[in-house]
Amino acid sequence: MTGNRRKIRSVRDKELAMRIARDRIMGLYSLSCSTDRADLARRYLEIMQRISERMDITLPREIKRMYCKKCFSPHSRESTIRLKNGIIIIECRHCGAVRRIPYR
């Protein structure tokens, strides 16, 4: 009997932990978008990525495409964005990494 209760409690704990992690991810993302300091924005995105990896949460597509996966700097107006043959090509202004995203 106590074994079943522990399983139920652990499932509830896991659901609670997942909900807290999602809230923290969204909070960190909004903080990174609202801050003017690039170093803070980069740090917020690093923490957000680490939380999503630890809790095995897939980030929404909109969030994934808003920052460089190599240096965690948010894409800004200075980033080079080109459209070529059905592909969006984003070049990071900090590290020079290139990201290709199909849009068809």
> What are the pLDDT digits (tens) for 40-56?
999 999 999 999 999 99
Domain locations in the chain as residue ranges? 1-66, 68-104
The per-residue pLDDT for 94 is 87
The per-residue pLDDT for 58 is 93
DSSP label at residue 42: H
* Chain-centroid distance, C-alpha 83: 23
The per-residue pLDDT for 5 is 52
CB 32 within 8 A of CB 48: yes
Measure the CA–CA gap between 91 and 56, rounded to whole angstroms.
Answer: 28
CATH of domain 1-66: 1.20.5
- Residues of the chain with confidence (pLDDT) below 50: none
Total-model pTM? 0.78
The per-residue pLDDT for 19 is 94
The per-residue pLDDT for 9 is 64
CB count in 10 Å sphere of residue 43: 16
